[in-house]
Structure 1
Amino acid sequence: MSSHVFMDLSYLKTGNAKQKEAYEILTDLGIFGKLAAFSPVLAGTIPINIDIEGSDLDIICEMREPEVLAQILNAEYGSMQGYRMTRSETADGIVMVCNFASRSWPLEIFAQNRPVTEQNAFKHMVIEHRVLEYLGPGFRERVRALKKDGFKTEPAFARILRLEGDPYQTLLEMYDWNDEKLHPFLDQNWPGRS
């Protein structure tokens, strides 16, 4: 699955049970239609099948007009269970995070003034997907096991692959690696490839 597949939710319709349920929820809420001007993409663990109980639906958006996005979110989802919105200033500008729940699924909408394909959440998902596809089901289960033990996704990958330094930054660097560089590194650090 190339990174372009993640741009269209339809891949979820043929996925596992949780992916199909996620598709239904997102379709019922109409999020991708209502936020179309903000290029929404589902990121995180659900798309790459490493979610665990309680994993949320992470939607990233490109936000050029914070007030417009805030108005849409407040109008469409403000009455949802647990609804809250926060804004903060970062070195990259304003970041907006909106949280709520639907059918007991937690949702998080993260928006910043950067194309979604250049956002860290997207890059992390793509490199993690490449690693998972190459290393196989044994690696996937090891990631899930660490996540169940309380590890966040990127630190779980770093622990298994013996990555040095900040796991978030190291995975971002690996995002740019081609297969000729990535595969030998993975073979060396995960000899149990299946």
Structure 2
Amino acid sequence: MSSREQDFLAGIDYLIEGNPWQQEVYRALCRLGVMEVLGPYQPVLVGTVPLDVDIPGSDLDVVCHVEQERREVFEALLKGTFGSCEDFEYAAREVDGLLRQVGRFRYEGWVVEIFGQPLPVEEQNGYRHMVVEHRLLELLDDKGREAIRSLKLQGFKTEPAFARLLRLEGDPYKELRDMYLWSPEQLGALAARLTE
């Protein structure tokens, strides 16, 4: 696990040293107190902002580990703490046999989505996708980051943008999730295809 991957799990302090956009996200999330409120659920900010491939309108996604027996407590926490935020919505549904709880709202212009699942954060798709994307961006450098941003500005979601750039076939979400278990050599060989 790289030091950046450890940073992802440790909180959001690494954003302080990021670009101005990441620093603003850090300040907004601190003002909201989201990481402290969700502390018992091991919250992790995932998605495009930690990776520095966000574009205007990107969401702030926070994934949490919510054990099945605490689902009602988590729901009450989301509604009680963030229910007064602009455009607040709460939904719960089963996805792949697991209950997924989502609180979505707007705060200081940012769309914040909080996901709770009865899985450790490191096993959740949002986290695994981000880690794989981080590893790939480390191999692709700034040109890869700019290519992903360009595809996102054309309307691609993040995982389909990576799939397009890397010429992956099949379901991009599944492909990237499966790549979480790849060795550095396998990821390096895939990234090297872009220079062929």
TM over 0.5: yes
Q: Please name the residue that 1:4 is paired with.
A: 6
Q: Please name the residue that 2:188 is paired with.
A: 183
Q: CA RMSD in A?
A: 1.1
| Runs (5+) with no aligned partner, structure 1 | none
1:133 aligns with 2:135: no
> How far apart are residue 129 of structure 1 and its match?
0.5
Q: Please name the residue that 1:96 is paired with.
A: 101
Output the CA distance in 1 between the equivalents of 2:95 and 2:106.
Answer: 26
1:23 aligns with 2:26: yes
Q: Please name the residue that 1:42 is paired with.
A: 45
Task: Decide whether the 8 Å contact of 2:152 with 2:161 is kept in 1.
Answer: yes
1:110 aligns with 2:115: yes
Output the CA distance in 1 between the equivalents of 2:59 and 2:92.
Answer: 20
Percent identity of equivalent pairs: 43
Helix, strand or coil for the counterpart of 2:57?
coil
Q: Please name the residue that 1:67 is paired with.
A: 72
> How far apart are residue 38 of structure 1 and its match?
0.8
Runs of 4+ in 1 over 6 A off after TM superposition: none
> Structure 2-normalised TM-score?
0.94
Helix, strand or coil for the counterpart of 1:171?
helix
Output the CA distance in 1 between the equivalents of 2:166 and 2:175.
Answer: 11
Task: Decide whether the 8 Å contact of 2:166 with 2:190 is kept in 1.
Answer: no
> How far apart are residue 91 of structure 1 and its match?
3.0
Helix, strand or coil for the counterpart of 2:159?
helix
Task: Decide whether the 8 Å contact of 2:129 with 2:177 is kept in 1.
Answer: yes
- Aligned residue pairs, count: 191
Which of the pair is proportionally richer in helix? 2
